[in-house]
Amino acid sequence: MTATAERTAIAAAAPASADPSIVAWVERIAALTEPAAVHWCDGSAGERAELTEQLVDAGTLIALDPVKRPGSYLARSHPDDVARVESRTFVCTESASDAGPTNNWEPPARMRETLRDVVAGSMRGRTMYVMPFCMGPLGSPLARYGVQVTDSPYVVLSTGVMTRMGAAALAHIGPDTPWVPAVHTVGAPLEPGEQDVAWPCNDTKYIVHFPETREIWSYGSAYGGNAILAKKAFALRIASSMGHREGWLAAHMLLLKVTGPTGRVFHVAAAFPSACGKTNFAMLQPTIPGWKVETIGDDIAWLAPGEDGRLRAINPEAGFFGVAPGTGESTNPVAVETLDRDVIYTNVALTDDGDVWWEGLTDEAPEHLTDWRGESWTPDSGRPAAHPNSRFTVSAAQCPTIADTWDDPAGVVIDAVVFGGRRASNVPLVAQARTWEHGVYMGATLASERTAAAEGTLGELRRDPLAMLPFCGMHMADHWQDWIDTGARLRSTGRPPAVFQVNWFRKGADGSFLWPGFGENARVLAWILGRVEGTARGAESPFGIVPAAGEIDYAAAGVSEDQWRGLFAVDRDALMAEADDTAEFLYSMGSRVPSAIDAEHALLRQSLRALPHSS
C-alpha cells in the first residue's frame, strides 16, 4: 500500500467524531511505525471481550477460575519488564534548568532523533490501536484529554480500566480542545511468518516526556506506568507542567471523603511516598464509632481553586493499579473485596485451582503454586511466589467504600492536606502546619528512612518531596512555588485547607512501632478534622501544632503513656543534624527554591536552637 493510500485508509476508518487533528497525527505515527493495521478503540464491552480472547489465545492472559475470580485474568510479563524504569525516563525541556536536578534530561531535538530511529518500523506486523481517553469525569472543567497509540492489546485493556477510554472521550475532543498525544510501542516488530511471544518487549527502553509540547513517547516496555501512559506519564509528569502554566496542581495524592459523628462531611488529600501506608489510608476502616471513611482516589489528585474560592480536587483516574504484595484481609480488607471480580493481575502467583495468591494475601502460603515466572513453587523454594512489584488493575467503581462523589465533575472541596513518610525517629505522630507556607515546607522536605540494607544505609533519609520525586515533570522547586502560589490565590478569596504531617511508623528504643496504625489512624484523622472544625485543641511544638493533652484517646488504641510520649519526643541534637541534612537537600535544588521555603527552614532552626540540649 502506498503512503497516500495508507493515509486514506486510516482517515476512512476513523470515527466520524474524530477531530481532523487526531486523524492527521495518527497518519503521521502510522507512517513512522508501519503497523499492519490500525484499529480505533471505542471502549465497548464487545471490543474488550474480543481483545481479551485474543490475549488468552496468545498466552498473554490466563483465565482464572470463573467461580473464584469471575471475569479475571493473570498476565506474566517478561522477567526484565517488571517495573517503572526510572533510569530510562526522561523529561526533555529546551532548557536543562527547567527539568531540574531530579529528572533525567536530554535536549528535545537530540531525543527526537533517537526516538525516530528506534520507533521507525517498530509496529510492523502488529496492529496499532488508537485510544482516545479522558482523565477525570467526562465534561469536568478539571478533566483533560489525550490520545494514545499502542501496539499492545494488554495496554488497551489496562487503559480501558484506568481511564474513560473510547468513543465518549473522542466525542469530547473538538477543534478547540487541547489533547496530549502519546505514542507507545513494545519495540518488537514481527517479520512475515514470525511467531509472536506472549509478552513482547525490547531490552532498550525509553519513556520520554516533552512538557513544552505536551507529548509522551514510550518504547520497549509493556509494563505499568511505562506503557499505560495516561497514568504517571500524563497524570503527573505532563500534568504538573500543564498545571504550572494553567494555575492548578497535579499531585501524587489519595482523596478521602470523611463523615463525622455530627454528619458533617470533610474531604482530605494526602501524599505518602511508597511503603508509607497510602493505599491502606485510602481505604481506611475506622475503629472509632460514628466515623465513616469513603474512597475517592488512591493515587493521583488534580487540585485547583474553584469558582467558590475553595480548593477543589478530582481523581483523574478511573481505576486502581495497585501493588499486590502486602494487600490482605488483615491489612486492607476493602482492597481484597474490590478484587473479587473483573481484575487483570500481573506477575502474581497462580494456585493449583485457578485462583491467585501473593505474599500477604493470607497468613499462610498454599502448599504449592505456580510462581510469577511460571515455575513450580512451594514455601521451601526460598524465593517470592509473586514479584514484589506485582499488580492488580481494577475499576474504582468496584471498591465497596467508593464515595458517591468520586466522579463528580465539579470535584470535591478539600478541607485538609496531609503529608506522611516512614520515620522511625524525629517526626511526631501528627502535627499541624502553622501556615500554608509551613505546610508546603513540610511536604517539600518530606523524607522516609531506609528500612533495609538492600535499599541503602539503614536510617539514611530518602527525600521524596510532596511524594513526587519520580513524577514531577518540571523543576521540583518550581512545583513548590506552584503550591505556594495556590495558597496565595486561595487566601485572596477565602482560606486554604489546613495542612498536616503524619508519621505512623515511629519506633521506640526496642525497635517496635509505637503506634498500631491501620484502623487506629482514624483517631489521628478525627483530631485533624477537629482542628479544621475548630473543636480540637492543640499545643505548640517545634514541628507545628500537636494534639493537646487528652485530645486523642491513645489508651483505647492500646498505646501506653510512655509510648504516647515517645510519639512526640523531641531530640534537639538529632533534629539539628537533620536540619543540616535538609539544608543540603534544599541547596541541591539551586536558586529556584522559593523564598518562603527558605524562610520556613530558618524558622525551624530558630525554634530548635531555643530547645535545651539532649541529655
The pLDDT value recorded for residue 455 is 37
pLDDT at 442 over 50: yes
| Alpha helix stretches (DSSP H) within 499-594 | 521-533, 561-567, 572-588
* 134 a catalytic residue: no
Instruction: Say if CB 398 and CB 335 are below 8 A apart.
Output: no
pLDDT reported for residue 299: 95
Question: What is the pairing mode between strands 416-420 and 498-502?
Answer: parallel
| Region of 326 on the Ramachandran plot (φ > 0 left; ψ -120 to 50 alpha; else beta) | left
**What pLDDT, on the 0 to 100 scale, is given for residue 274?**
80
pLDDT tens digits along 129-145: 999 999 999 999 999 99
pLDDT at position 122 over 80: yes
pLDDT (tens digit per residue) in 587-612: 999 999 999 999 999 999 999 999 98
Strands 369-370 and 430-432: unpaired
Residues 412, 266: Cα–Cα separation, whole Å: 9
Residue 615: which pLDDT band, with cuts at 50, 70 and 90?
A: low
- 49 HSE (CA, 13 A, CB side): 3
pLDDT, residue 276, reads: 83
Which residue among the candidates 92, 134, 201, 276 is catalytic per the annotation? Answer: 276
Closest CA to 280 of 517, 500, 53, 44: 517
What are 487's three cell numbers? 495558597
Residue burial 547-584, b: 16+ Cβ < 10 Å; e: rest: beeebbebeebebeeebbebbbeeebeebbebbeebbe
pTM of the predicted model as reported, rounded to 2 decimal places: 0.95
Asked if pLDDT for residue 184 goes beyond 70, the answer is yes
Question: Average pLDDT of 519-535?
Answer: 97
**Which residue from 275, 607, 312 is spatially nearest to 450, judged by alpha carbons?**
275
DSSP 511-537: S-BSS--GGGHHHHHHHHHHHHHT-S-
pLDDT tens for 320-370 read: 999 999 999 988 999 999 999 999 999 999 999 999 999 999 999 999 999
E strand map for 433-497: 447-449, 461-463
Tell me the average pLDDT of the chain.
Answer: 95
For 251-317+405-609, give the CATH class.
alpha beta
Q: Which residues contact 253 (CB under 8 A, 6 or more apart)?
A: 269, 270, 271, 297, 300, 301, 303, 313, 467
Structure confidence by residue, pLDDT tens digits, 69-114: 999 999 999 999 999 999 999 999 999 999 999 999 999 999 999 9
No. of helices (H) and no. of strands (E), the chain: 17, 31
Categorize the per-residue pLDDT at 453 as very low, low, confident or very high, splitting at 50, 70 and 90.
very low
The Cα–Cα gap between 118 and 220 comes to 9
The runs of H, that is alpha helices, within 103-202 are: 108-119, 153-162, 167-171
Q: Which fold has domain 3-56+87-247?
A: Phosphoenolpyruvate Carboxykinase; domain 1 (3.40.449)
Beta carbons within 8 Å of 380's beta carbon, 6+ residues apart: none
**Sorting pLDDT into bands at 50, 70 and 90, what band is 200?**
very high
pLDDT over 90 percentage in the chain = 92
Name which of 6-15, 252-261, 288-297, 554-563 the model is least confident about.
6-15
Flag the least confident range among 6-20, 188-202, 294-308, 404-418.
Answer: 6-20
pLDDT for position 451: 46
Q: pLDDT grade, residue 7 (50/70/90)?
A: low
pLDDT of 2 above 70: no
How many beta carbons lie within 10 A of that of residue 376, not counting itself?
A: 9
Q: Does residue 285 carry a pLDDT above 80? A: yes
pLDDT at residue 1, rounded to an integer: 58
Q: Examine the pLDDT at 115 and tell me if it is beyond 70.
A: yes
What mean pLDDT comes out for the span 391-410?
97
In this predicted structure, the answer to whether residue 11 has a pLDDT above a threshold of 80 is: no
Domain 319-398 has CATH 2.170.8.10: yes
Q: What is the pLDDT of residue 141?
A: 94
Range 192-196 contact pairs with CB under 8 angstroms and sequence separation of 24 or more: 192/125, 194/125, 196/58
Q: Which residues does 256 contact at the CB level (< 8 Å), separation at least 6?
A: 267, 268, 269, 270, 281, 282, 284, 293, 294, 295, 296
Of the chain, the end-to-end C-alpha distance in Å amounts to 82
Contacts of 9 (CB under 8 A, 6+ apart): 1, 38
Tens digits of residue pLDDT in 413-429:
999 999 999 999 999 99
What does the pLDDT read at residue 456? 44
Q: Are 152 and 39 in contact (CB under 8 A)?
A: no
Domain boundaries, the chain: 3-56+87-247, 251-317+405-609, 319-398
Residues of the chain with pLDDT > 70, as a percent, come to 96
* Euclidean distance between CA atoms 595 and 96, whole angstroms: 22
Radius of gyration (C-alpha) of the chain in whole angstroms:
25
How many other CB atoms are found less than 10 A from the CB of residue 275? Answer: 14
Measured over the CA atoms of residue 314, residue 317, residue 322 and residue 328, the dihedral's sign is positive
pLDDT digits (tens, 9 = 90+) for 212-261: 999 999 999 999 999 999 999 999 999 999 999 999 999 999 999 999 99
Cell numbers that stand for 319 in this block: 481505576
